[in-house]
Structure 1
Amino acid sequence: MTIDDSALGFGSGARAVWASDPGNSRGRLFPEEPSRTRSEFQRDRDRIIHTTAFRRLKHKTQVFVADEGDHFRTRLTHTIEVAQIARALARALKLDEDLAEGVALVHDFGHTPFGHTGEDALDALMEDDGGFDHNAQSLRIVTHLERRYANFDGLNLSWESLEGLVKHNGPLTDQAGHGLDGPVPQPILDYCGRQDLQIATYASLEAQVAAIADDIAYNTHDIDDGLRSGLLKLEMLDGVPFLQELLREVTERYPGLERSRMIHEIMRRQITLMVEDVIAVAQANLSSLKPSHADDIRSADRAFAEFSPEMKDADRTIKSFLYANLYRHPAVMRVREQAAGIVQDLFAAYVERPSLMGGHWTQGVADFNERQIRRRVADYLSGMTDNYAIKQHRALFDHTPELR
Structure 2
Amino acid sequence: MSSIVSELAPYACDPTQTRGRLFSPGPSPTRSEYQRDRDRIIHSTAFRRLQHKTQVFLHHEGQHFRTRLTHTLEVSQMARSIARALALNEDLAEAVALAHDLGHTPFGHAGERVLHDKMADWGGFDHNVQALRVVTRLENRYALHDGLNLTWETLEGILKHNGPLIDEAGNPVGRYIKEGLPPGLDEIPVSEPLLLSSYASLEAQTAAIADDIAYNAHDIDDALRAGLLTLPQLMDVPLAGPIVREVLELWPDIDPSRQTHEIQRRLITRSIENVIVTSSSAIAMVEPANSDDVRNAGQSLIRFSNSLAEAELGLKRFLFENVYRHEDVMEPVRQGEAVVAALFDRYFEDGGLPGRWQEAADAAGSRAGRARVVADFVAGMTDPYALDEYARLFDARPDFR
Aligned to 1:71: 64
> What whole-Å deviation, never above 9, does each CA across 1:55-94 have from its counterpart, x for those lacking one?
0000000001111110000000000000000000000001
Contact kept in structure 1, 2:152 and 2:191, CA below 8 Å: no
Work out which of the residue numbers 191, 199, 210 in structure 1 matches 2:188: 191
* One-letter amino acid of the structure 1 residue matched with residue 81 of structure 2: A
CA distance in 2, matches of 1:364, 1:74: 30
Aligned to 1:393: 390
Aligned to 1:382: 379
Aligned to 2:355: 359
Aligned to 2:314: 317
CA separation of 1:161 and 1:105: change in aligned 2, threshold 3 A: same
Aligned to 1:152: 145
* One-letter amino acid of the structure 2 residue matched with residue 328 of structure 1: R
* One-letter amino acid of the structure 2 residue matched with residue 359 of structure 1: G
* One-letter amino acid of the structure 2 residue matched with residue 277 of structure 1: N
Contact kept in structure 1, 2:95 and 2:154, CA below 8 Å: yes
CA distance in 1, matches of 2:135, 2:216: 27
Aligned to 2:172: 179
Aligned to 1:340: 337
CA separation of 1:364 and 1:218: change in aligned 2, threshold 3 A: closer
CA separation of 1:177 and 1:256: change in aligned 2, threshold 3 A: same
Once the 2 structures are TM-superposed, how far is the Cα of residue 193 of structure 1 from its aligned partner?
A: 8.1
Using the size of structure 1 for normalisation, the TM-score is 0.96
Equivalent residue runs for 1:93-112 within 5 Å: 93-112=86-105
Once the 2 structures are TM-superposed, how far is the Cα of residue 370 of structure 1 from its aligned partner?
A: 1.5
* One-letter amino acid of the structure 2 residue matched with residue 225 of structure 1: D
> Within the alignment, does 1:306 sit opposite 2:299 as a pair?
no
Equivalent residue runs for 1:28-67 within 5 Å: 28-67=21-60
Using the size of structure 2 for normalisation, the TM-score is 0.96
Moved more, 294-303 or 176-185: 176-185
> What whole-Å deviation, never above 9, does each CA across 1:90-138 have from its counterpart, x for those lacking one?
0000111000000000000000000000000111111101101111100
> What whole-Å deviation, never above 9, does each CA across 1:241-299 have from its counterpart, x for those lacking one?
32221111111111212110010110111001100010001110122111111111111
Moved more, 110-119 or 175-184: 175-184
Contact kept in structure 2, 1:143 and 1:155, CA below 8 Å: yes
> Within the alignment, does 1:207 sit opposite 2:200 as a pair?
no
Work out which of the residue numbers 226, 230, 234 in structure 2 matches 1:229: 226
DSSP-derived class of the 2:146 partner: coil
Once the 2 structures are TM-superposed, how far is the Cα of residue 38 of structure 1 from its aligned partner?
A: 0.6
Once the 2 structures are TM-superposed, how far is the Cα of residue 239 of structure 1 from its aligned partner?
A: 3.5
Aligned to 1:289: 286
Contact kept in structure 2, 1:83 and 1:100, CA below 8 Å: yes
Contact kept in structure 2, 1:251 and 1:257, CA below 8 Å: no
CA distance in 1, matches of 2:140, 2:226: 38
CA distance in 2, matches of 1:116, 1:365: 25
> Within the alignment, does 1:331 sit opposite 2:325 as a pair?
no
* One-letter amino acid of the structure 2 residue matched with residue 106 of structure 1: A
CA distance in 1, matches of 2:203, 2:164: 15
* One-letter amino acid of the structure 2 residue matched with residue 189 of structure 1: D
Q: CA RMSD in A?
A: 1.2
Contact kept in structure 1, 2:103 and 2:134, CA below 8 Å: yes
CA distance in 2, matches of 1:245, 1:342: 41
CA distance in 1, matches of 2:56, 2:267: 20
Moved more, 238-247 or 169-178: 238-247
* One-letter amino acid of the structure 2 residue matched with residue 150 of structure 1: A
CA separation of 1:401 and 1:128: change in aligned 2, threshold 3 A: same
Moved more, 194-203 or 204-213: 194-203
> Within the alignment, does 1:127 sit opposite 2:120 as a pair?
yes
Once the 2 structures are TM-superposed, how far is the Cα of residue 363 of structure 1 from its aligned partner?
A: 1.9
- The runs of 5 or more residues in structure 2 that have no matched partner are none
Contact kept in structure 2, 1:28 and 1:158, CA below 8 Å: yes
Kindly tell me the number of residue pairs found equivalent between the two proteins.
396
CA distance in 2, matches of 1:309, 1:126: 38
Contact kept in structure 2, 1:342 and 1:400, CA below 8 Å: no
Aligned to 1:217: 214
Contact kept in structure 2, 1:129 and 1:371, CA below 8 Å: yes
Work out which of the residue numbers 163, 167, 172 in structure 2 matches 1:170: 163
* One-letter amino acid of the structure 2 residue matched with residue 82 of structure 1: V
Once the 2 structures are TM-superposed, how far is the Cα of residue 192 of structure 1 from its aligned partner?
A: 7.2
CA distance in 2, matches of 1:36, 1:188: 34
CA distance in 2, matches of 1:393, 1:56: 18
DSSP-derived class of the 2:22 partner: coil
* One-letter amino acid of the structure 2 residue matched with residue 306 of structure 1: R
Contact kept in structure 2, 1:361 and 1:376, CA below 8 Å: yes
CA distance in 2, matches of 1:57, 1:359: 22
* One-letter amino acid of the structure 2 residue matched with residue 362 of structure 1: Q
> What whole-Å deviation, never above 9, does each CA across 1:21-60 have from its counterpart, x for those lacking one?
0001010112332212110000000000000000000000
DSSP-derived class of the 1:219 partner: helix
